[in-house]
Amino acid sequence: MSTPKRIFTLSSGSQTVSLAEFRPAKKGALQLHAIETRELVPDPAADATRVAQSALAVGEMVESMKGKGLPLRLTLPAQSTFSRMVKLPAMSGADLEQTVMYEAKQNIPYPLEEVVWDHRVVYETQAHEPEVLIAAAKTDLLEEWTAAVDGAGMQPSGIELATIALYNAFRFNYGEPEGCTLLIDLGARTTNLLFIEPGKFFIRTISSGGGTLTSAVAKEFAEPFSMAEARKRSTGFIGQGSNFAEPEDPEQARLAKVLRNAATRLHAEVTRSISFYRSQQSGAAPQRVLLCGNGAQTPLMPEFWEEKLGLSVEMFNPLRCVAASKNTNAVTLALSAAQLGEHVGLALQGIFQCPVSVNLLPPALRRKSRVGQVALVIGLSAACIAAPLLAWGFHLRHNAVLAIKQAESLTPRIAEVKKVAVRLKALQEEIDVTLRATKPLEQAIFERRYWMTLVDQIHACLPEELVWITSFEVEPSKESKGDDAVPSPKAPPTGGKNQSPKQQTVRLLLKGFYMENSKGAEVVDAFGKSLKDQSDLISVYGAAQEKLKSLGASPAKGAREDAEAAVKESLENLKKAGLTANPVAYTLAPVEDWIKTNKPNPTEWAQDFVIPLDLSEPPAKTPVLTP
């Protein structure tokens, strides 16, 4: 899902309602772009008109911030929602869902048909059973709020618990705490306590808040609730006890004492909640306290909690890791700081995967949103299918027009090229005639230098000692066809329509002697291998006669079978020595002649050898080479 460019959040309370706009910044950051707050009638007697007042206020703020038609996430007052943390046995899948359904029926104080509820597993380890957060709100109330948002011109996309939004904002700005942190949200009707530890958290709501302090002031001064609220905001502060001097103004001193007594009763509720968390939830004692909510803005409220709890107390800063735009009014930002935690938590859900998230959006809106998403997907799919086809059609049409223009522009050049092609064809015919006339001359030059080049290559491969050549003999030329021909591995292939299927094979017999040495006939084999590797005019097929001599074939054996075995063994040895052995190049006749006319003489100091060489592309006329 793409990140929205503008993220709108709405925090609704008993006495105030605020609308904020966030925008994604670079590198995954979040920026507060604007925030506006409207005051509601603080008297609890006006609760019946709370949604209508909020609708008017939201409409004004949306108009001011130009956010019509955009999605909006909101939180409801804590007294309008229900949340409960329950422990369940370790399980998963369908069993967990059924168990959660049973727990929801047992804990939610309304029939499930009348509420919208959701749940999340918030703490599960191998050593602890899973804890599940169950959140719910009445369907009719949720529909009133979504209708108010829709009437203001915005699209409700999610409804979150205020406590969950605060928890996500805390984790984003403060990370994972080292010990237990107690976040106290002092609202008008309720006080929300969040116990946050590494890997877990616990929520508890106390039905007492800033409105309790105002009610105590109204009772003390016998005045309406709205006047008591105005008195508390203008001149009220939390008294610091008997160790501090009282204000000179008697009414102000009386007001401070009343506020301290009411706050002390609230402190007693908080103390009981801490004891419950430590005893029933196996939690750790809080190590620090953070304050937020409109009630935290009462003067000397942080000092009061620090005195009562004996812990370090500071104000919760939801903008610790969130930048504020230059367009944001500093005064408005300071006045709205108490409610920014909920806004930041809601905005984070629009661009990040938050640790915990529930959505209490009514089923009708969920279905509408799902239908809208499906319609959007179908529309985008159709557009994705049609766009390439249309683009391809326009592309083909554009290319056709360009092709016609280019063809018209190329017509004169094509005519010129055709004229040049006719001239080139005539020149090519002249070149062919010339090449045919010069071909005999080129062949004569080649044949003239052929034998000198061949002798130079043989001389270059001849060892400096132990081997010398006595004669070159050329066997009579013969024509062979198919498998009877002895191919030349290094001769380049020839082709053409007029090529004769017959091939002329010229074999040169290279004869000489090699001296007796420790390696024996291997020096001749090395010479032959050098000819094979370095010469491009000849192919070496070995010297079978000398191999037979090195194997010591004896006329005393006299049997043709022994000679055949010696030939086969010599061929195998030739292969092992790296020389190419062609059985066609050897016959038993030289072996039989050698057996009849030669006898091994261990006193001889030199042995003769013969190396047959097949010539690659020999001249048409083969000279007679004699010693």
SS3 content of the chain, % helix, strand, coil (to 5): 50, 20, 30
Q: pLDDT tier at 273 (50, 70, 90 boundaries)?
A: very high
- The candidate with the shortest Cα–Cα distance to 201, out of 355, 79, 96, 51, is 355
Q: Which CATH number fits domain 7-361: 3.90.980.10, 2.40.110.20, 3.30.420.40, 3.40.190.10?
A: 3.30.420.40
User: If you average pLDDT over residues 378-406, what whole number do you get?
Assistant: 83
CB count within 10 Å of CB 521 equals: 19
- The candidate with the shortest Cα–Cα distance to 559, out of 598, 595, 599, is 595
pLDDT given for residue 260 in this prediction: 92
Q: Are 36 and 17 within 8 A, CB to CB?
A: no
Phi/psi at 343 (5° precision): -65, -45
Residues 498-517, buried b or exposed e (16+ Cβ, 10 A)? eeeeebebbbbebebbbeee
221-243 pLDDT tens trace: 999 998 998 899 888 899 887 77
pLDDT given for residue 14 in this prediction: 83
pLDDT given for residue 49 in this prediction: 83
The Cα 522–Cα 74 span in angstroms is 97
More confidently predicted of 622 and 271: 271
Sequence-ordered strand ranges (E) for 161-287:
181-186, 191-197, 200-206
- The candidate with the shortest Cα–Cα distance to 364, out of 77, 116, 110, is 116
The Cα 145–Cα 128 span in angstroms is 38
55-114 pLDDT tens trace: 899 999 999 998 888 999 999 888 888 888 888 887 777 788 888 888 889 889 889 889
99 exposure class (CB count in 10 Å sphere: 0-12, 13-18, 19+): middle
pLDDT given for residue 303 in this prediction: 92
Of 345-349, 455-459, 532-536, least confident by mean pLDDT is 532-536
pLDDT exceeds cutoff 60 at 552: no
Q: Are 323 and 26 within 8 A, CB to CB?
A: no
More confidently predicted of 564 and 60: 60
Q: In what order do the strands lie in the sheet with 312-315?
A: 200-206, 191-197, 181-186, 288-292, 312-315
The Cα 188–Cα 211 span in angstroms is 5
Q: pLDDT tier at 436 (50, 70, 90 boundaries)?
A: confident
pLDDT given for residue 306 in this prediction: 92
Q: pLDDT tier at 593 (50, 70, 90 boundaries)?
A: very low
User: If you average pLDDT over residues 544-558, what whole number do you get?
Assistant: 41
142-172 pLDDT tens trace: 988 888 888 888 988 889 999 999 999 999 9
The Cα 167–Cα 183 span in angstroms is 9
Give residue limits of the domains in the chain: 7-361, 462-489+502-615
Phi/psi at 56 (5° precision): -65, -40
Give me the amino acid identity at 395.
H
pLDDT given for residue 285 in this prediction: 93
More confidently predicted of 554 and 195: 195
The Cα 163–Cα 84 span in angstroms is 12
pLDDT given for residue 583 in this prediction: 42
Q: pLDDT tier at 580 (50, 70, 90 boundaries)?
A: very low
Q: Are 116 and 360 within 8 A, CB to CB?
A: yes
CB count within 10 Å of CB 333 equals: 15
pLDDT given for residue 2 in this prediction: 65
13-50 pLDDT tens trace: 888 899 999 998 877 788 898 888 888 887 777 777 88
Phi/psi at 524 (5° precision): -70, -40
Q: Which two tokens stand for residue 45?
A: 């007697």
- What's the chain's average pLDDT? 79
Q: Which two tokens stand for residue 5?
A: 């460019």
pLDDT given for residue 176 in this prediction: 87
DSSP 617: S
Q: pLDDT tier at 216 (50, 70, 90 boundaries)?
A: very high
